Amino acid sequence: MKILLVDDNEEFCETFSDILSLEGHAVRCVFSGREALAETEAFLPELLFLDVKLPDIDGVHVLKQIASSGRKITVVMMTGYSVPDLIQEALALGARAAFAKPLDYARVFDIVEEASDRKPGA
């Protein structure tokens, strides 16, 4: 499965990428909202883990752009901050889930498995 990770913490992103790659997924990391939008066009991920707080545009804005594009990407929001309003907005826009950091990797793998099961041809 193609998975895009978007987080401004490069160390976190690369560690998360390593974990998912060991499970056999094709994973890319980007570190800003603008990079996320470009990479959703270039990489065409099936699953997107998206940080709420990014240095340029917030994750909810990125989610809005993706939703308006009509592309079918499972989006999971992540945050290390208490931002209930942004989380509620993201869920209303179609985010599959929202996780607090540090991540519960058992829940992460459940979401990855669900998204994989929804893939055409799976």
Quick check: 113 pLDDT over 90?
yes
Number of domains within the chain: 1
Residue 15's domain is classified under what CATH number? Answer: 3.40.50.2300
What's residue 84's pLDDT?
85
What's residue 86's pLDDT?
86
pLDDT tens digit sequence for 34-93: 999 999 999 999 999 999 999 999 999 999 999 999 889 999 999 988 888 888 999 999
pTM of the complete model: 0.91
Task: Name the nearest CA neighbour of 16 among 76, 60, 67, 65.
Answer: 76
